């Protein structure tokens, strides 16, 4: 049987989620690389005064990469806990999760190039 709705329980859930985000950025080195790319993309967006639709693309790419990295981190931590010794299946699971992050990051980089290179070329003509 489900428990009754509680604002206090929802707030606790939100606090736990915020703690998870804090833990992720405090403990994962790759998170800092993604954060640096996030700062660069946002800085370029403000500098070139990109359109609202372009901001949606930037925000979507940032979110995609951060979420992929967080899920990858969870998978790695779970697999390390369940199987501290080396197993080929565990390695494949972790490699596939890391590959998902790479795909997301490449997509974000390509999107960033498509979005920002025209602004850069217009601002700094190389004739």
- Binding positions are 16, 28, 69, 76, 85-87, 94-95
Distance CA 35, CA 47 (A): 18
Q: Does 88 participate in catalysis according to the annotation?
A: no
Binding site as annotated, residues for substrate: 69
Q: Which two tokens stand for residue 90?
A: 């565990």
Catalytic residue among 45, 65, 68, 69: 69
**Residues recorded for the chain:** 127
Binding site as annotated, residues for a divalent metal cation: 28, 76
Ramachandran assignment for 44, one of left (phi > 0), alpha (psi -120 to 50 degrees), beta (any other): alpha
User: Around Cβ 41, how many Cβ atoms within 10 Å?
Assistant: 22
Binding site as annotated, residues for ATP: 16, 28, 76, 85-87, 94-95
Active-site residue set: 69
């Amino acid at each position: 049987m489900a428990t009754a709705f509680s604002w206090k329980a929802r707030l606790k859930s939100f606090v736990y989620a915020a703690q998870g985000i804090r833990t992720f950025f405090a403990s994962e080195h790759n998170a800092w690389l993604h954060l640096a790319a996030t700062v660069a993309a946002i800085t370029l967006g403000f500098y070139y005064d990109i359109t609202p639709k372009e901001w949606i693309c930037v925000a979507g790419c940032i979110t995609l990469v951060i979420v992929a990295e967080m899920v990858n981190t969870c998978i790695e931590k779970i697999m390390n806990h369940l199987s501290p010794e080396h197993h080929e299946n565990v390695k494949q699971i972790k490699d596939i999760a890391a590959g998902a992050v790479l795909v997301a990051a490449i997509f974000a980089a390509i999107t960033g190039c498509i979005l920002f290179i025209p602004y850069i070329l217009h601002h700094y003509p190389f004739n």
